[in-house]
Chains A and B, each alone.
Chain A
Amino acid sequence: MNTNPVMVRGLNFSYEEEGGTPALCGVDLTILSGTVTVLIGPSGCGKTTLCKCLCGIIPKLIHGVTNGEVFVFGREIANDESIAISSLSEQIGLVMQVPDHQIVMTAVEDDVAFGPENRMMPPPEVRDLVDHTLSEMDLTQKAEADPSALSGGEKQRLAIAGVLAMGPEIMVFDEPVSSLDSAGRDHFVQIVKALKEAGKTIIIVEHDFEVFDFADQWVLMKEGRIVCASAPREIPRELVESELWH
């Protein structure tokens, strides 16, 4: 019955144990298989928090007060202690807003290989996959470099590469192009189109959302709530053009 990639029901979350404004209030969201969803909203409205809920970092690693349900392929993850984040990673991948928080290895190619190795992919296959992903993200020249010596844009491309290499069914990108130049941004749009073509389910947080006019769903958020979620064409222009989102 309900095997949508993502379904969120009445989700509330607040970082503080008591008092304070909640980061998410009564969020309901359904994401269909093979679709592209763009999360839009002013900074601090809870986009990153929602992304972390989708892949289980909240509430499994970041504690706070959580209410409601999050389903990934029909499996409730927010209240089930027995589901480990590392096992969820096979279904859902997250490119974090801050690449430094995500890069774990001491060489670029090793970092791309990290996910596939954890899933016990045979070494020759890992090698091919890594080479292919590096060239796709234009990092071949930097394969042996130390990630801490990369530029902001290169780190961001590495963070994307690390998740692409894992190839989960659902991919969440939290402001993935904020430090990329316009060519890099265009390239990312192409990657998203190709992923959609391949049947993946994509969720993107991005301020410059007009380039994702091909998305199946735009989700407008404000102060922890979803204001509107529907196809880009069906959202009233005056709502989209309100300065809140720009």
Chain B
Amino acid sequence: MTKKSRLGALDPRPKLMLMASASTACILANDLIYIASVLCMLIATLLIGGMDVRLVLRRAKAIFVLIAMLFVIQTFFSGLPYPGGLLLAAMLSLRLLVVVLAGLILMEGEVRDYLLALVQMKMPYTLAFMVVVGLHFLPILREEAVNIYCCMQLRGKDFKNMKLTEKVRAYTGICLPILVGALRRADEMSVAMETRGFRSRPSRTYMRQLKMRGADIALTILWPAILVVLYEVECVF
């Protein structure tokens, strides 16, 4: 396991708060400069939090490319005269970026802590477990996809030089076994949980408990506060 970044060591609740407040603010706000400044703050938080920039770029590469494409399409096909289309496109792209980066902050952290966070925020535990088991599944499914992909290549399937129809068929061949496997795994998981007493009592206890420390509390209060202050400042000018 790699060493935890500063963000990774934080309580999940301020991160959930950050994600929720930043996304909501940027979706509600209709001002390019406001959204851009929130984005800058987010980037600053990521950097101060010790997030690995290269890792971020690699993880979210596809999404960044998608956002860039959306930007171009919006700019040219919005039907608005210059600079209206450009402004609209920039606003949309920056909003998406804010949501994606906030999501990346959430990814710095462990699944087990999110389970506790959800439960301590009074989510019913069966629901919290469902969310968390789902989150835990994703990397497993991804690994399986890579495995099958490699197997197919080892057996001489050449994904690069393929016609589109062949490609579609090949990818269906990857996705179908994964889907079947996922359903089977979910089944096994529920059997395993029951044999170990899950839901045998009306409630359950938790060995660990999350505690908010100074930095956690500061982040929880600071982010929404700055979002509001920024908004006020924008309004004045």
Contact = CB atoms under 8 A, between A and B. Distances in A.
B207 A118 contact: no
A120 interface: yes
B201 A120 contact: yes
A55 B195 contact: yes
A102 B195 CA distance: 9
Interface residues of A, number: 43
A127 interface: yes
A94 to B, nearest CB: 6
A104 B191 contact: no
A89 B194 contact: yes
Interface residues of B, number: 29
A167 B220 CA distance: 41
B157 interface: no
Contacts of A86: 194-195, 197-200
A148 interface: yes
Contacts of A116: 207
Contact of A85 (B140, B195, B205, B209): B195
Interface in A129-145: 130, 144-145
Contacts of B190: 61
Nearest to A163: B196
Interface in B110-164: 110-112, 132-133, 136, 140
Centre residue among B1, B195, B198, B209 by max chain A CB count within 10 A: B195
A61 B192 CA distance: 11
A104 B207 contact: no
Contacts of A113: 207
A123 B205 contact: yes
Nearest to A118: B197
Nearest to B202: A120
A175 interface: no
A87 interface: yes
Contact of A104 (B192, B203, B205): B192
A176 interface: no
A158 to B, nearest CB: 12
A57 B195 contact: yes
A53 interface: no
A96 interface: yes
A4 B189 CA distance: 30
Interface in A64-104: 84-87, 89-90, 93-94, 96, 101-104
Nearest to A110: B112
B198 A123 contact: no
Interface string B194-235: 111111110111111100000000000000000000000000
Contacts of A103: 192
A122 B112 contact: no
Interface string A52-64: 0001010001100
Nearest to A168: B197
A120 B204 contact: yes
B193 interface: yes
B112 A162 contact: no
A105 B112 contact: yes
A9 interface: no
Nearest to A61: B191
B188 interface: yes
A87 B112 contact: no
B204 A104 contact: no
Nearest to B193: A104
Contacts of B206: 117, 123
Give 7 closest A-B pairs by Cβ, nearest first: A86-B200, A118-B197, A89-B197, A113-B207, A126-B207, A85-B194, A115-B196
Given A107-B112, A122-B205, 15 more contacts: A55-B195, A57-B195, A84-B194, A84-B200, A86-B200, A89-B194, A102-B192, A104-B133, A110-B207, A116-B207, A118-B198, A118-B199, A120-B201, A120-B203, A166-B197
5 contacts: A55-B195, A104-B133, A118-B196, A118-B200, A144-B1
